[in-house]
Structure 1
Amino acid sequence: MPIQRIIIQGKVPVKIYTDDVDSPAVKQLVNIAQLPFIHSHVAAMPDVHVGIGATVGAVIPTKGAIIPAAVGVDIGCGMVATRLSLTASQLPDNLRPLRTAIEAAVPVGFAMHPNGPGVPASAVHALSGGLDRIVHKHPGILKMQKNSERTWAQQLGTLGGGNHFIELCLDENQDVWVMLHSGSRGIGNVIGRYFIELARKDMGQHLANLPDRDLAYLQEGAAHFDDYVTAVQWAQDYAMTNRREMMRLILDALMRQLPPFTLTREAINCHHNYVTVERHFGEDLFITRKGAIRAGVGDLGIIPGSMGAKSYIVRGKGEPESFCSCSHGAGRRMSRGQAKKKFDQQDLIDQTVGVECRKDSGVLDEIPGAYKPIDEVMANQSDLVEVVHTLKQVVCVKG
Structure 2
Amino acid sequence: MPHEQLEISTPKPVLSWAGHPLGADETKMARNVASLPFVFKHVALMPDVHLGKGALVGSVIATKEAIMPAAVGVDIGCGMMAIKTPFNADKLEGKLKKIRLDLEAAIPVGFNENKDIEKTVANWQAWEDFKELHQGVQRLENKAMKQLGSLGGGNHFIEVCVDTNEQVWLMLHSGSRNIGNMLAQCHIDTAKELAKLAETPLPDKDLAYFVAGTPEFQAYWRDLQWAQDYARFNRDVMMNRFKRVVEKHIAGGKATKPLLSVNCHHNYAEKEVHFGEEVYVTRKGAVRAREEDYGIIPGSMGAKSYIVKGKGNHDSYCSCSHGAGRLMSRNKAKNVYTLDDLIQQTKGVECRKDEGVLDEIPGAYKPIEEVMANQSDLVEVVATLKQVVCIKG
Question: Given the two structures, how large is their TM-score scaled by the length of structure 2?
Answer: 0.96
> Does the Cα contact within 8 Å between 2:301 and 2:360 map onto a contact in 1?
yes
Look up the SS of the partner of 1:256 in the other structure.
helix
| Aligned amino acid, residue 17 of structure 2 | Y
> Does the Cα contact within 8 Å between 1:255 and 1:261 map onto a contact in 2?
yes
Deviates more, 1:214-223 or 1:379-388: 214-223
**Structure-2 change in CA distance of 1:223 and 1:94 (3 Å):** closer
> Does the Cα contact within 8 Å between 2:130 and 2:141 map onto a contact in 1?
no
Deviation by residue 1:121-149 (Cα, 9 ceiling, x = unmatched)? 4543x121122111xxx31234xxxx612
Picking from 135, 140, 144, the partner of 2:136 is 140
**Structure-2 change in CA distance of 1:5 and 1:123 (3 Å):** farther
> Does the Cα contact within 8 Å between 1:74 and 1:189 map onto a contact in 2?
yes
Percent identity between matched residues is: 53
Residue 266 (structure 2) pairs with residue 272 (structure 1): yes
Q: Distance in 2 between matches of 1:207 and 1:272?
A: 32
**Structure 1 residue 81: deviation in Å?**
0.3
Cross-structure match for 2:19:
19
Cross-structure match for 2:2:
2
**Structure 1 residue 164: deviation in Å?**
0.3
**Structure 1 residue 322: deviation in Å?**
0.3
Deviates more, 1:87-96 or 1:284-293: 87-96
Residue 392 (structure 2) pairs with residue 398 (structure 1): yes
**Structure-2 change in CA distance of 1:119 and 1:363 (3 Å):** farther
Look up the SS of the partner of 1:331 in the other structure.
coil
Deviation by residue 1:1-20 (Cα, 9 ceiling, x = unmatched)? 10034243221011000133
Cross-structure match for 1:241:
233
Picking from 148, 155, 171, the partner of 1:156 is 148
**Structure 1 residue 390: deviation in Å?**
0.3
Q: Distance in 2 between matches of 1:284 and 1:129?
A: 30
> Does the Cα contact within 8 Å between 1:47 and 1:329 map onto a contact in 2?
yes
**Structure-2 change in CA distance of 1:120 and 1:261 (3 Å):** closer
Cross-structure match for 2:129:
130
| Aligned amino acid, residue 216 of structure 1 | A
Q: Distance in 2 between matches of 1:162 and 1:313?
A: 22
1:184-333 matches, within 5 Å, as 184-206=176-198, 209-259=201-251, 260=254, 262-333=256-327
Cross-structure match for 1:183:
175
Q: Distance in 1 between matches of 2:344 and 2:118?
A: 36
**Structure 1 residue 216: deviation in Å?**
0.3
> Does the Cα contact within 8 Å between 1:14 and 1:42 map onto a contact in 2?
yes
Residue 82 (structure 2) pairs with residue 81 (structure 1): yes
| Aligned amino acid, residue 165 of structure 2 | N
Q: Structure 2 unaligned runs (5+)?
A: none
Q: Distance in 1 between matches of 2:371 and 2:353?
A: 25
